[in-house]
A and B are shown apart, each in its own frame.
Chain A
Amino acid sequence: MWIRTLRLENFRNYERLELELEDGLNFLHGPNGSGKTSVLEAVSYLAVARSLKGASDNEVIRWGQQGFGVGADARSEESSISIVLKYVRGGGKRVTVDGTALTRLSDVVGLLRVAWFCPEDTWVTKGGPAERRRLLDMTLCQLDAGYLRTLADYRRTLRQRNEALLAWTPGAESDRIVDVWTERLVEYGSKVIAARLAFLPRFSIAVARVHQHVAGGGELNLEYRGNVVPAADARSLVDDLPGDVTLAAQHDLVEPVRERFRDALERVSEDERRRGFTLVGPHRGDLEVRLDGRVLRQFGSQGQHRTAAIALKLGEAAVLDEEGHGVIVLLDDILSELDAERGEALVECTSEFGQTLMTSTRLLPEGYAGAGKSAVFRVEGGEVVRQ
């Protein structure tokens, strides 16, 4: 699905904007604070019902207004779709698809698929595990609606269980309460871990391929690390699966993961009761990135981290693009973080995806591959003009 027409109303600094987008690269340039990122942010609302910049819904309302609206007409080779998301302060978000209101907001996720890349992401392989987990989860949520719901249930259950652990006192009744939350945690958590394990092989291949292209050498490899299933054990579980491992294999992994999750919680049971929170589970999982067999986070140079980040993001886009669904790549001010060579490689790579929206304070350098056939927009003071 690619966006033909994008509409913004009372969104950030836009009172009203209607933008015709093209296939391929849409390049938005203009000074800082002119509203380039807001266009990307609006797309993220339509794709995942929230700001990929991490802003709250109230924050993106235009000053002095009570709510905002974003909408898009999108189409793929076979079909077309019209999505509108509206938010009223204190009233929650509502989405209509082709004029029909969705009962669950989360049902919008996956209709338009997006991969978002901003300057902070160039440190994704260097920083803490939370960002890498987020990358993994955002991708899986867009690929699999079931994952999104299971993850939400897991997070909710985790908070409930932590509260129960905090209130725990020695005795059968207190144990019984913790135990029912443990059971539910295992139920949802095993599905989350199973999906991540089943997804990793395909993701790793996609990322390695992009990395090869951008870096011109060096083998990048991804592996899921968690405290529920030890790495070697996870490897053999996945290796034992018949045929090519796809996301569908997650269902075969749930049972063995469930067993291990139960055991892992059993082992830390006393410790958890003493400390008052959950010590093992997918909320502690991480994505380990290795370059030529060595853990990148520990030894990687600045340049290697940046290249790896590009590979992760474009690998994400490639996976989301599979099965002809189409992906919209959102690149926010990324050229400022990359040297000319990597920047050009990035732009060239995105040309294989259906649609890219890219922002920059400067014009795209002459002679960039793909620069010629891109649609260029000048953004200034809440106005967007096609050049």
Chain B
Amino acid sequence: MAGFPPALDRLVQTLGRLPGIGRKSATRIALKLVSSSEAECRELADSIVDARSRTVRCSECGSFTEDDPCSICTDTRRDPSVICVVERASDVLALERTGRFRGRYHVLGGVLSPLDGIGPENLRIDSLLARVTSRQVTEVILALNPTAEGEATALYLARILGSRGVTVSKLASGLPVGGDLDLADELTLGTALEERRAF
């Protein structure tokens, strides 16, 4: 079977390495690109390089930013005594969309996973401890995914933070808002029941 010309093939290969893009999507995108104008392609290429060169990690929270520290860490209206710990920078966006959290964030950059060789030293835990000790932090909220690894990481953090006199809390797991009780799966409903609170 005749393949694509080398340059086009290279583009397909490169696109295919991106998350969520399989070979089919990569081919579709590549064919769209080579049939658009050079200006359009230039714009895409420039925006990639530009975003890459301007975006840095916030030295405080580890989130993506153009100015270090980021706008959340420098916002004086936000409560510096509460830190919400998340796995990835994208989780910050998700929580910000709720508009409910007025404290600051800390991005771990992953979760504990011995199978992948990820230990505490590979996560931004030292900087979390430094923030907790040096600032007047009173509460740390652990907003990690309820997976085996997320739960183990939360437990690890709770143990090392517990000895430092801060309140450690965890996001509740339970019923989806606006959902029907009889449609919730047993595990979710069971957890919601176990973690019920006084009314």
Contacts and interface: CB of A to CB of B under 8 A. Distances in A.
B155 A184 contact: yes
A145 B188 CA distance: 11
Interface residues of A, number: 29
Contacts of A150: 187
Contact of A163 (B22, B114, B153, B156): B114
B152 interface: yes
Interface in A280-310: none
B38 interface: no
B22 A90 contact: yes
Contact of B156 (A149, A153, A167, A180): A180
A91 interface: yes
A127 interface: no
B183 interface: no
B159 interface: yes
Interface string A149-184: 110010011011101101100000100110111011
Contacts of B187: 145-146, 149-150
Nearest to A153: B148
A297 to B, nearest CB: 33
A161 B22 CA distance: 33
Which applies to chain A's interface (DSSP): helix, strand, loop or mixed? helix
Contacts of A117: none
A90 B115 CA distance: 22
Interface centre among B115, B120, B147, B160 (most CB of A within 10 A): B115
A163 B149 CA distance: 13
A145 B185 contact: yes
Contact-residue size bin, chain B (C-beta under 8 Å from the other chain): 20 to 34
A50 to B, nearest CB: 20
Contact of A160 (B113, B120, B185): B113
B148 A176 contact: no
B148 A160 contact: yes
B92 interface: no
Contacts of A184: 148, 151-152, 155
A250 to B, nearest CB: 11
A164 B114 contact: yes
B114 A180 contact: no
A144 B156 CA distance: 30
A157 B115 contact: no
B186 interface: yes
B109 interface: no
B114 A91 contact: no
Interface string B157-199: 0011000000000000000000000000111001000000000
Contact of A181 (B22, B23, B152, B160): B152
Interface string B134-149: 0000000000000111
B190 to A, nearest CB: 7
Nearest to B157: A180
Contact of B186 (A145, A157, A159, A173): A145
A180 B112 contact: yes
A221 to B, nearest CB: 30
Interface string A127-156: 000000000000000001110011001001
B149 A160 contact: yes
Nearest to B191: A146
A183 B112 CA distance: 14
A188 interface: yes
Given A146-B190, A160-B113, A180 B185 contact: no
Contacts of B156: 176-177, 180
The 6 residue pairs across chains A and B that have the minimum distance between CB atoms: A163-B114, A146-B187, A164-B114, A180-B155, A156-B148, A180-B156
Given A176-B156, A180-B112, A184-B151, 16 more contacts: A90-B23, A107-B185, A145-B185, A145-B187, A146-B186, A149-B187, A150-B187, A157-B148, A160-B115, A160-B152, A166-B114, A167-B119, A177-B156, A179-B159, A183-B155, A184-B155
Interface of A: 90-91, 107, 144-146, 149-150, 153, 156-157, 159-161, 163-164, 166-167, 173, 176-177, 179-181, 183-184, 187-188, 251
10 contacts: A90-B22, A107-B185, A160-B114, A167-B114, A177-B114, A180-B155, A181-B114, A184-B148, A184-B151, A184-B152
